[in-house]
Amino acid sequence: MKMTGLNHFTINVVDLEKSKEFYENVLGLQSCGFVDMGDHRLTYYQLPQNVKLELIQYDDPDIPVPFKPTHVGMYRHFCLETDSLDEVMENCRKYGVTVLQEPAYVEKLEFRNILILDPNGVEIEIIEI
């Protein structure tokens, strides 16, 4: 047995409309589908290499529990690559996105990156190699 690829990752959204605005306008992702599951809805966005982002909006959601980036035993963030980190930063300013770390060069990793939060409090790292 072997893993042959990454299919999708999922975010349980707080506000679907704000999430759609963020992923479409700030990050420039293209919507690629919608499925009504009855008690929740799935909205998909296409990422490179045939990977999808799946946003779930539940009819009866639980209240999120706050966490710190240094908490262990939890998923922390996903990382996207861009060809223009400056344009990402410009979009973040334009749409009022929370920026945890402004664009900076990470010498040990040899790339520039930015850390931002989506409308659901999900941390996203974006790198420019």
**pLDDT 10s digit of each residue in the chain, 129 long?**
987 889 999 999 999 999 999 999 999 999 999 999 999 999 999 999 999 999 999 999 888 778 888 888 878 899 999 999 999 999 999 999 999 999 999 999 999 999 999 999 999 999 998
Closest C-alpha to 65, from 18, 9, 118, 12: 12
pLDDT at 3: 79
Residues 57 and 40 sit within 8 Å (Cβ to Cβ):
yes
pTM of the model: 0.89
What are the structural domain ranges in the chain?
8-60+76-128
Strand order in the sheet with 77-81: 77-81, 123-128, 111-117, 99-106
CATH topology of domain 8-60+76-128: 2,3-Dihydroxybiphenyl 1,2-Dioxygenase; domain 1 (3.10.180)
Q: Residue with structure tokens 């009022």? A: 96
Give the rounded distance of the alpha carbon of 111 from its chain centre. Answer: 19
What is the pLDDT, as a whole number, of residue 68? 83
Nearest to 123 by CA among 75, 55, 87, 51: 75
CB 31 within 8 A of CB 43: yes
